[in-house]
């Protein structure tokens, strides 16, 4: 069994909880409420800069140039293509750029993931990003078999079901496998624990999109 498979198996309950989260099942049933989707994209956009910082910590702690090159490419995609994507997405769905202070679960996701990246080593960072990306790749591949009728949501799910993204998730798995092989049982258990923490933060982040008390930011200058 690959170390990454073992880490996931240690967190089977949380893995299933995320794979069957109502955010995921609503998308699979093509019944995600539009305001939930707008809130979600607003929170996702806010997370891009944090993701850059997390991968930045990975870059500084990477064991070699091969890893650095891969992380530079990831950072470039996040800071260029990803930001352009959100501009189009916000325009299409009438989402404003200014919103209320982020809900606690969204804040906690950012500070929790960034905190692990700041305090942890390279193995810790690739483990939490593996949790995030493997989890997305899995449900998006499944969901994309029945594409959503909402164009931006369909495109977003497709983006996370395509080779570019999936190969990034596979690369993280390979990095975790290699790092975990050099650890003892306690070290591997520590990675399994971090994987679980990342999944719990993800679960709470996606639940926050359903908080109807958090007002959807409307695009400026539009009715």
Ligand X SMILES: Cc1ncc(CO)c(N)n1
* Half-sphere exposure (Cβ direction) of 114: Cα atoms closer than 13 Å: 14
Q: Which residue has the tokens 């993800």?
A: 202
Window 94-153: residues binding ligand X (CB under 6 A): 132-133, 136
Binding pattern for the stretch 184-203 against ligand X, x by CB under 6 A and - elsewhere: ------------------x-
- Take residue 192 and report the two structure tokens written for it: 């399994």
Q: Which of 23, 171, 205, 214 binds ligand X (CB under 6 A)?
A: 205
Q: Where does 130-184 show beta strands of DSSP type E?
A: none
> Under the criterion CB under 6 A, does residue 207 sit at the interface with ligand X?
no
116: tokens are 């692990």
The residue count for binding ligand X (CB under 6 A) is: 7
Instruction: Choose between 133 and 175: whose C-beta lies nearer to ligand X.
Output: 133
Residue 213 CB coordination number (10 Å): 6
Closest separation between CB of residue 43 and ligand X, Å? 8
Q: How many Cβ atoms sit within 10 Å of the Cβ of residue 34?
A: 12
Nearer to ligand X, 15 or 136 (CB): 136
Token pair 């990095």 in the structure block, residue: 175
Contact pick of 26, 28, 44, 162 for ligand X (by CB under 6 A): 44
What are the residue numbers of the active site? 202
- 64 DSSP assignment: S
Closer CB to ligand X, residue 179 or residue 202? 202
Query: Which residue has 């991968």 as its token pair?
Result: 55
Q: What is the binding site for ligand X (CB under 6 A)? A: 44, 47, 132-133, 136, 202, 205
């Amino acid at each position: 069994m690959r170390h990454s498979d073992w880490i996931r198996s240690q967190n089977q309950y949380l893995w299933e909880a995320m794979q069957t989260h109502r955010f995921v099942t609503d998308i699979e049933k093509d019944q995600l409420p539009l305001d939930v989707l707008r809130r979600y994209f607003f929170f996702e956009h806010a997370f891009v800069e944090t993701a850059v910082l997390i991968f930045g910590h990975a870059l500084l702690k990477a064991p070699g140039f091969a890893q650095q090159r891969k992380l530079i490419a990831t950072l470039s995609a996040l800071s260029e293509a990803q930001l352009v994507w959100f501009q189009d997405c916000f325009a299409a769905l009438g989402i404003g750029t200014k919103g209320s202070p982020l809900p606690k679960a969204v804040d906690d996701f950012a500070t929790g993931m960034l905190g692990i990246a700041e305090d942890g080593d390279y193995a810790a960072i690739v483990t939490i990003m593996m949790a995030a990306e493997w989890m997305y790749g899995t449900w998006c591949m499944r969901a994309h078999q029945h594409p959503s009728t909402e164009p931006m949501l369909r495109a977003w799910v497709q983006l996370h079901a395509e080779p570019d993204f999936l190969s990034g998730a596979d690369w993280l798995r390979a990095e975790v496998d290699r790092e975990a092989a050099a650890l003892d049982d306690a070290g591997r258990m520590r990675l399994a624990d971090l994987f679980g923490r990342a999944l719990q933060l993800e679960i709470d982040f996606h639940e926050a999109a359903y908080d109807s008390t958090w007002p959807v930011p409307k695009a400026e200058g539009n009715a």
